[in-house]
């Protein structure tokens, strides 16, 4: 039995060497762990592996030094081959513009913590923008001298604090026309931010209680 085992291992080793002659491989860079979009790539985020040449995508990155310090522009899972289209140069460090769909624009909505749920707002949250006329003293439903919901379920892209950590407002994504309306309202009154609960999806459809919405 021992002889059979030794012979088997010998045959395997010989077969592997023969196959290695005919199956050409090349080194490519793969993600060593899950990477989020817009993440700066470090040495520990990637590794080099040998793969059959015929199965390598022509845009595969071959050298790790071509990636280190650059940024991902899409999610990468562990073991995934990194392609040129998956990253952007560190010379073009991404700002929030890369997170805004082409049909939307980003606009800053200033608000102190007292008008923004005490400042308990995070990127990815949804908020309703409620305008109140400057100097309004009596609320009348439907009257512009009272309060008006300018936009519902606005997506928060960034939360802005000053150097001392004080809440200063949020950057939201909205259609260009809505951004123009928000700018007008900001010049004529104050905007309050009302936090929308996570128990509904962005389109208003209830989310399964077993799934925690990602931000």
Give the model's pLDDT for residue 207. 39
Give the helix/strand (H/E) hosting 124: none
Extract the runs of DSSP E, i.e. beta strands, from the chain: 25-31, 46-52, 71-72, 87-88, 105-110, 126-133, 147-161, 167-174, 189-196
Give the model's pLDDT for residue 16. 53
Give the model's pLDDT for residue 39. 83
Encode pLDDT of 149-186 as tens digits. 999 999 999 999 999 999 999 999 999 999 999 999 99
Domain 24-92 fold is: Type Iii Antifreeze Protein Isoform Hplc 12 (3.90.1210)
Give the model's pLDDT for residue 165. 93
Going by C-alpha positions, the residue among 73, 76, 102, 95 that lies closest to residue 157 is 95
Give the model's pLDDT for residue 55. 82
Give the model's pLDDT for residue 138. 52
Encode pLDDT of 120-138 as tens digits. 999 999 999 999 987 655 5
- How far apart (Å, rounded) are the C-alpha atoms in residues 143 and 128? 18
What Å distances lie between residue 147 and 1, 131, 137, 185, 194, CA to CA?
Answer: 88, 5, 11, 11, 13
Q: How far apart are the first and last CA of the chain?
A: 59
Give the model's pLDDT for residue 13. 55
Give the model's pLDDT for residue 133. 86
- How far apart (Å, rounded) are the C-alpha atoms in residues 11 and 84? 40
Give the max Cα distance, the chain: 97
Q: Which residues of the chain have pLDDT under 70?
A: 1-23, 93-94, 135-145, 200-215
Q: Do 199 and 211 touch, CB atoms closer than 8 A?
A: no
């Amino acid at each position: 039995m021992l002889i059979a085992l030794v012979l088997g291992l010998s045959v395997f080793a010989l077969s592997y060497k023969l196959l290695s002659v005919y199956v050409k491989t090349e080194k490519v860079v793969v993600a060593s762990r899950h990477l989020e979009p817009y993440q700066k790539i470090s040495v520990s985020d990637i590794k080099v592996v040998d793969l059959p040449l015929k199965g390598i995508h022509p845009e595969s990155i071959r050298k790790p030094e071509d990636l280190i310090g650059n940024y991902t522009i899409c999610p990468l899972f562990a073991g995934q081959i990194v392609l040129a289209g998956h990253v952007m140069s560190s010379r073009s460090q991404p700002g929030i513009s890369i997170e805004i769909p082409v049909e939307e624009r980003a606009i800053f909505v200033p608000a102190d913590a007292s008008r923004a749920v005490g400042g308990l707002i995070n990127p990815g949250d949804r908020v309703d923008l409620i305008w109140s006329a400057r100097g309004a003293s009596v609320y009348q439903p439907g009257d512009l001298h009272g309060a008006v919901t300018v936009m519902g379920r606005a997506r928060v892209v960034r939360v802005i604090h000053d150097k001392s950590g004080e809440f200063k407002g949020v950057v939201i994504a909205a259609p260009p026309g809505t951004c123009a309306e928000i700018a007008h309202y900001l010049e004529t009154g104050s905007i309050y931010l009302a936090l929308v609960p996570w128990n509904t999806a962005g389109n208003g459809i209830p989310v399964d209680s077993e799934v925690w919405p990602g931000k």
